């Protein structure tokens, strides 16, 4: 059992969730409520990581992260370090790869709020910020839970993107999914089996939490 890889996987998933939640809320709400030029384009871009092969996404990110590329050079001038083959690099890649999983459930949740509800809140003297906090968020939380769980579980299982950008470096970028692949290559089938079972269990628990919470909210509404 590669505990280092497990802790890297959990840390990566957790940080991806934390950083994407505000992005998902803002972008999901904007896409659901406002009508602006190029909205379909933004929606398409957000959904793109869903349909792109992970190796393709990984390839482009690796190119962009390179110290000779504009983005990589900018990052280096900012932080003094490169992005490829570092934890920061796979975290950034994971943020991009998980964008649809964080945005889409929240967007769907905002779309179900009738617009007259918000107008009623405004008429009752609530500011837009108060409306968001006291009316909208309590209604979209099941969407936020789905977004968190999907992002978490998907990051745990991500392979292609992480391998391309991270290079499977022990203690830095080798996640559990990649460690399983390495164990199989090293003819260590029992190690791979234990870690696969671990990943299966964590994924099942994550999804279980979502369905549990979603079921409870259904039951409460009657």
Partner 1 sequence: MNAVLRLALACWLLAIAPLANAGEAAVAVASSLQFAFPELVEEFRSQGGPPVRVNYGASGNFRRQIAQGAPFELFLSADEQSVLALHDAGFTESAGVIYAVGRLSWIQRPGRGALPSDHAPLSAVEAAIATYRDGEGRQRVALANPEHAPYGIAARQALQRAGLWEDSAPLRVMGENVSQAARFALADEARGGLVAYSLALAPSLADQAEHVLVPAGWHAPLHQRMALMRGAGDEARALYQWLEGEQARVILRRFGFQPPDAAEGH
Half-sphere exposure of 214 (CA within 13 A, CB side): 16
Cβ nearer to partner 1, comparing 33 with 139: 139
Shortest CB 86 distance to partner 1, Å: 7
Q: List phi, psi (to 5°) of 178.
A: -75, -35
Name the residue among 68, 66, 69, 99 with its Cα closest to residue 85.
Answer: 66
Q: Answer for the pair 131, 153: CB distance below 8 angstroms, yes or no.
A: no
Encoding tokens for residue 54?
A: 């992970």
CB atoms within 10 A of CB 37: 7
Q: Rule CB under 8 A: is residue 32 a binding residue for partner 1?
A: no
Cβ nearer to partner 1, comparing 42 with 214: 214
Tell which positions 153-182 bind partner 1, by CB under 8 A: 167-172, 174, 182
Whats the size of the chain, residue-wise? 222
For residue 134, CA distances in Å to 66, 140, 146 come to 44, 11, 20
Cβ nearer to partner 1, comparing 21 with 47: 21
Cβ nearer to partner 1, comparing 54 with 167: 167
Buried b (16+ CB within 10 A) or exposed e, 169-195: eeebbbbbbbbbebbeeeeeeebbeeb
Shortest CB 184 distance to partner 1, Å: 7
Site string (105-124) toward partner 1, x via CB under 8 A: --------------------
Stretch that binds partner 1, among 9-17, 36-44, 46-54, 109-117 (CB under 8 A): 9-17
Interface with partner 1 (CB under 8 A)? 4, 7-8, 10-11, 13-15, 17-18, 21, 66-67, 81-82, 84-86, 137-138, 141, 144-145, 148-149, 152, 167-172, 174, 182, 184-187, 209, 213
């Amino acid at each position: 059992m590669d505990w280092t890889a497990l802790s890297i996987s959990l840390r990566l998933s957790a940080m991806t969730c934390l950083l994407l939640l505000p992005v998902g809320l803002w972008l999901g709400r904007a896409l659901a409520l406002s009508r602006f030029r190029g909205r379909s384009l933004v929606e398409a871009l957000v959904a793109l990581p869903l349909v792109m092969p992970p190796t393709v996404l990984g390839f482009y990110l690796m190119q962009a992260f390179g110290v000779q590329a504009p983005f990589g050079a900018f990052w280096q001038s900012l932080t003094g370090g490169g992005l490829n083959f570092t934890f920061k690099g796979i975290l950034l890649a994971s943020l991009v790869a998980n964008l649809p999983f964080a945005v889409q459930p929240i967007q769907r949740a905002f779309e179900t709020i009738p617009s007259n509800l918000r107008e009623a809140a405004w008429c009752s003297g609530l500011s837009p910020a108060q409306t968001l906090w006291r009316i909208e968020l309590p209604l979209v939380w099941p969407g936020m839970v789905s977004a968190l769980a999907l992002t978490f579980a998907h990051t745990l299982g991500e392979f292609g993107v992480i391998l391309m950008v991270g290079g499977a470096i022990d203690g830095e970028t080798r996640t559990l999914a990649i460690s399983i692949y390495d164990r199989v290559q090293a003819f260590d089938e029992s190690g791979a089996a234990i870690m696969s079972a671990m990943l299966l269990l964590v994924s099942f628990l994550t999804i279980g939490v979502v369905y549990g919470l979603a079921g409870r909210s259904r039951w409460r509404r009657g």
